[in-house]
């Protein structure tokens, strides 16, 4: 009786069959979608964040002086939208502090996702709530003698998008530095946000302010963003004002992402 030994056929390995790790862009997209799910599941959270801006509109709008050409809302509303973008983006680090306390952030750090995508995806997520809040404010004020200029509004929103990304990244960096000390996050955030708003002339013009206030306003990047927004919402397009606003927005975005990425890479 002859035994026949069959040699197993070894198929050549095909690299195409091996799962390829997702790239940074795919990781960033997945993180952004993850962060946006609570927003879409509970859209009321966006409305809740609109309480303070709408209260400012209701209380300050009747006090605005009458102007000869157009409505005073053309000057006031862009500042309120910029304020909403600043406050909304600066608050988002609080979500990360909760994830640090619960341990979910540590689980993400050991996941296959790149650390840079964890920061950039979170920061890019800030654009969506900003767009939703800006749309709500414009919809509320348009019936009250507010002239809508869609093309100029689009440019203004693009400028605010970069600003929101930068502030969001800084907020996440602050949360990483604060770690489980939530009081530290809120102390720094609340200490900085209101001087930035006031020095940008969001609620009151600074033309007649003391010299030291005007100097502080010139150092504030939000000042140039608000100036650009007011020019655009008025239906004008002064190239220098819009360029300064766009440059300030890009600088905030670049600085915020640089600081946030450094904090994320050193996170443990």
pLDDT in tens, 111-159: 777 888 888 888 888 888 888 888 889 988 888 878 888 999 999 999 9
Instruction: Share the mean pLDDT of the chain.
Output: 83
Residue 68: pLDDT band (50, 70, 90) is low
Q: How far apart are CA 257 and CA 260, in angstroms?
A: 5
Q: How far apart are CA 85 and CA 158, in angstroms?
A: 12
Distances (CA, A) of 25 to 22, 32, 142: 8, 11, 38
Check whether 65 has a pLDDT greater than 80.
no
Per the listing, tokens 């654009």 go with 127
What is the predicted pLDDT for the residue at 159?
95
Residues near 87 by Cβ (< 8 Å), separated by ≥ 6?
49, 52, 193
Q: Counting beta carbons within 10 angstroms of the beta carbon of residue 121, is it exposed (0 to 12), middle (13 to 18) or buried (19 or more)?
A: buried
Cβ(235)–Cβ(152) below 8 Å: yes
Phi, psi (degrees; rounded to nearest 5) at 120: -65, -40
- Rounded to the nearest 10 degrees, the angle between the axes of helix 239-265 and helix 115-125 is 140
Residue 42: pLDDT band (50, 70, 90) is confident
Q: Alpha helix locations (H) across 6-126?
A: 24-41, 44-49, 51-60, 73-91, 93-102, 104-109, 115-125
Check whether 262 has a pLDDT greater than 80.
yes
For residues 39-59, give the mean pLDDT. 75
Check whether 220 has a pLDDT greater than 90.
yes
Q: Tell me the pLDDT tens digit for each residue of 159-186.
A: 999 999 999 999 999 998 887 788 888 8
pTM: 0.83
Question: What kind and span of H or E run contains 135?
Answer: helix 127-141
* Alpha-carbon Rg for the chain in angstroms: 24
> Chain centroid to CA 61: how far?
26
Taking the C-alpha atoms of 131, 67, 240 and 140 in order, what is their torsion angle to the nearest 10 degrees? 0
Q: How far apart are CA 156 and CA 172, in angstroms?
A: 24
Check whether 210 has a pLDDT greater than 50.
yes
Q: Which two tokens stand for residue 161?
A: 């998008």
């Amino acid at each position: 009786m002859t035994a026949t030994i069959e040699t197993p056929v070894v198929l050549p390995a095909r690299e195409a069959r091996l799962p390829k790790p997702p790239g940074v862009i795919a990781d960033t997209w997945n993180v952004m979608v993850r962060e946006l799910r609570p927003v879409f599941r509970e859209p009321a959270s966006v409305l809740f964040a609109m309480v303070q801006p709408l209260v400012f509109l209701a209380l300050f709008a009747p006090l605005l002086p009458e102007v000869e050409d157009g409505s005073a809302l053309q000057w006031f509303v862009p500042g309120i939208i910029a304020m909403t973008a600043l406050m909304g983006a600066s608050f988002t680090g609080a979500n990360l502090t909760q994830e640090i306390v619960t341990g979910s952030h540590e689980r993400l750090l050991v996941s296959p996702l790149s650390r840079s995508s964890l920061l950039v995806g979170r920061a890019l997520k800030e654009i969506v709530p900003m767009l939703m809040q800006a749309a709500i404010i414009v919809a509320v004020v348009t019936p009250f003698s507010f002239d809508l200029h869609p093309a100029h509004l689009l440019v203004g929103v693009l400028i605010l998008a970069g600003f929101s990304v930068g502030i969001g990244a800084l907020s996440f960096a602050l949360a990483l530095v604060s770690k489980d000390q939530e009081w530290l996050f809120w102390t720094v955030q609340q200490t900085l946000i209101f001087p930035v708003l006031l020095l940008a002339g969001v609620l009151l013009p600074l033309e007649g302010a003391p010299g030291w206030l005007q100097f502080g306003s010139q150092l504030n990047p939000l000042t140039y963003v608000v100036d650009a927004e007011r020019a655009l919402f008025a239906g004008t397009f002064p190239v220098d004002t819009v360029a300064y606003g766009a440059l300030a927005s890009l600088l905030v975005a670049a600085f915020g992402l640089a600081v946030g990425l450094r904090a994320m890479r050193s996170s443990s």
